[in-house]
Structure 1
Amino acid sequence: MRGSLMKNVRLFAWIGAVVMAAMIVFSLLTGDFAAEGSILMGMVWGQMSLVDLYVGFLLFYLWIWYREKSPIAKFVWFIVLMTTGSLATALYILYVSYQSKTKEEFFFGKNA
């Protein structure tokens, strides 16, 4: 798909993917997931933040579910999204932006 809109979408998705991948690697190498996660889950705002994130992931997944025809693709993207979060969001946006020929196909997939 051509045009400045898609160039901007791809630019922001690439930036998001690189930043998220770098932060995931950094966090895995330097943090203590269990100990720090336990502290966060011990706080009301830590719980609220997690609920907020996963509601957002599920809402984004509705778009994936609508666009994708294959049950396997739907399942794989669900697992990837729930485990890598915004990294998966950026990767999916990149995937569909390079796959789509029109704005309608970008948003609606084969339903366009």
Structure 2
Amino acid sequence: MKTAKFLALLCVVAMTGALIYGFTVGDFFVDGSAILSNPWGIVSLVDLYVGFTLFSMWIAFREKSAFIAGLWIILMMVFGFFTGAIYVLIHLILSKGDWNLFFMGDRK
């Protein structure tokens, strides 16, 4: 579990850096239109949102509160796997080494 926590923290740091870089250096509308004009850009976005959706299904499954699950899912759709990395790190810490609790949440 120590390795998983380290990797999740590394992902949070990497995504934080990437988001800061993108928001400070990039132009969302110019760069976004370039992505959408490229067929592989569209494929990449579909791939990304399929991943967000599947990850969100796990969040919805393991959260007891529909409201809390909904908040996490909205954050996932807006901020991507930055949110996913934070979610994983929080629940790795809260599970205190219990993999069943980590994966199943309140359904354990």
TM bucket normalised to smaller: over 0.9
| Aligned positions, number | 107
The CA RMSD over aligned residues, in Å, is 0.7
**What TM-score comes out, normalization by structure 2 length?**
0.96
What is the identity, as a one-letter code, of the residue corresponding to 2:73?
A: F
* 1:109 and 2:105 correspond: yes
Aligned partner (choices 80, 83, 108) of residue 85 of structure 1: 80
What is the identity, as a one-letter code, of the residue corresponding to 2:28?
A: F
Residue equivalent to 1:20: 15
Q: Taking CA–CA contacts closer than 8 Å with sequence separation of 6 or more, which of the two structures ends up with the larger relative contact order?
A: 1
Within 2, Cα distance between the matches of 1:100 and 1:49? 33
Off by >2 Å, runs of 4+ in structure 1: none
Structure 2, unaligned runs of 5 or more: none
Q: What are the residue-to-residue correspondences of 1:1-112 with 2, within 5 Å?
A: 6-101=1-96, 102-112=98-108
Within 2, Cα distance between the matches of 1:26 and 1:68? 32
**What TM-score comes out, normalization by structure 1 length?**
0.92
Within 2, Cα distance between the matches of 1:90 and 1:107? 14
Residue 64 of structure 2 aligns to a residue whose secondary structure is coil
Within 1, Cα distance between the matches of 2:70 and 2:95? 21
Within 2, Cα distance between the matches of 1:22 and 1:36? 18
Structure 1, unaligned runs of 5 or more: 1-5
Residue 47 of structure 1 aligns to a residue whose secondary structure is helix
The CA deviation at 1:106 is 0.5
